[in-house]
Amino acid sequence: MKPSICLTFKIHQPTHLRLYRFFEIGKDSHYYDDFANRSLIKKTASDCYLPMNQLLLNLIKSTKGKLKVAFAISGGTLEQFDRYCPEVLDSFRELNATGCVEFLCEPYYHSFAAVADDAEFTHQVNKHRNAIKEYIGADVKSFVNTDMVYTDAIGEKIADLGFKTVLTEGAKHILGWKSPNYVYSCVYNPKLKLILRNPGLSDDISIRFSDRNWNGFPLTAEKYYSWLEQAQGDQVVNLCMNYKVFGEFHPKESGIFDFFESLVNMVISKDCFTFATPSEIAKKYAAVDSIDVQDPVSCENEEKDMAKWLGNELQKEAFNKLYALQEKLAIANLPQLWEDYGLLQESDHLFNMNSSFFTDKGNHRYVNPYDTPFEAFINYMNVLADFAIRVDEELN
């Protein structure tokens, strides 16, 4: 049986907060930078989403359906597509119509509700399931959590919500001597299959492609394929990356589009691998073993933990104060409050408070509107203070 290549692309456009000052608390409840949100998504659509979607469509047609890919698109991003650039949604619907693209389910607001509140997590998963059907016309079969965060306990929740396949990080500290290029199962629920991201081969494209100091530079399709060949005796190579890799993190001038097209055609012509979606892989292969994941694992930083979002006291305080409002929100039960609550859960708000952002060279790929983590924290907590007042007013 030929090993499979699973191409998974993550898409999330943050909902940026405007500069919200202390004296506005209790007076102005519009929190979002509409201009930044509109201009950023339209730029990314022009640089990445539209040209890359067209390239994928052309390749699917030219390979007669042999190319298959998967997308994880957050709910907030779907809303921004609909509001600011509906032509992007049209291009995803066209990809869906080929039958060669799988759309994955995730928490609607790209949040960490899975480690904070079970009821909120369930709500967001079901909301996202419905949104993919509404916006794209697709039914979801597989699941990937925000930034691939996973534990055995989260796996149980995912299985309870009806999923049989979940994607997460092939982190060394959970695998030990094992390879990420095999299908595994949840230790508490053997029916839930785990497809692990190959961090080395994924990052060779997503992070290192344009790095002139990297010993693999320049990365050609021939060179990359020779690395893939080392996995010929395995089951699956899961290449999971941010979709903005194509055209934004690595601009068109870097050759990233030409590289991808050449690589796909090389894989097809050599016929040693097949492309497959996560749900197809779960049907095709039996799990070789179970994996025990007690502490959260993610696809970020060398430690593959949640330190990028919950590694300092500022982040923890913001996170805890937000989710402490859940019970009051359930009593008030107003749609506008629930919407703001969801948007305030986006992982980006916590990421902006990450101390290492300003020293980690890899983070040049991301937009952070703040000069320091403390500025990000103060702005977010001002917004949260106003939001809490609104919640309390509905209860009085």
Calpha distance 190→183 (Å, rounded):
12
Residue 77 and residue 103 in contact, taking contact as beta carbons nearer than 8 Å:
no
- Map tokens 């047609």 to a residue: 61
For every residue of 142-187, DSSP letters joined together read -EE-GGG-B-HHHHHHHHHTT-SEEEEE--HHHHTT--SSSEEEES
Closest CA to 188 of 210, 160, 214: 160
How many C-beta atoms lie closer than 10 Å to residue 26's C-beta?
11
Calpha distance 310→312 (Å, rounded):
6
Calpha distance 246→241 (Å, rounded):
10
Hey, what long-range contacts does 134-138 have (CB within 8 A, 24 or more apart)? 135/78, 135/81, 135/82, 135/89, 135/92, 136/73, 136/78, 136/89, 136/92, 136/93, 136/96, 136/103, 137/93, 137/96, 138/96, 138/101, 138/102, 138/103
Q: How far is CA 11 from the centre of its chain?
A: 6
Return the structure tokens found at 343. Answer: 């948007």
Closest CA to 138 of 78, 183, 192, 83: 78
SS3 state at 240:
strand
The model carries a pTM of 0.96
396 residues of the chain, pLDDT tens digit each: 899 999 999 999 999 999 999 999 999 999 999 999 999 999 999 999 999 999 999 999 999 999 999 999 999 999 999 999 999 999 999 999 999 999 999 999 999 999 999 999 999 999 999 999 999 999 999 999 999 999 999 999 999 999 999 999 999 999 999 999 999 999 989 999 999 999 999 999 999 999 999 999 999 999 999 999 999 999 999 999 999 999 999 999 999 999 999 999 999 999 999 999 999 999 999 999 999 999 999 999 889 999 999 999 999 999 999 999 999 999 999 999 999 999 999 999 999 999 876 555 444 456 788 999 999 999 999 999 999 999 999 998
Rounded to whole angstroms, the maximal C-alpha distance in the chain is 69
Calpha distance 89→306 (Å, rounded):
31
Calpha distance 51→70 (Å, rounded):
17
Closest CA to 285 of 270, 274, 269: 274
Calpha distance 359→271 (Å, rounded):
43
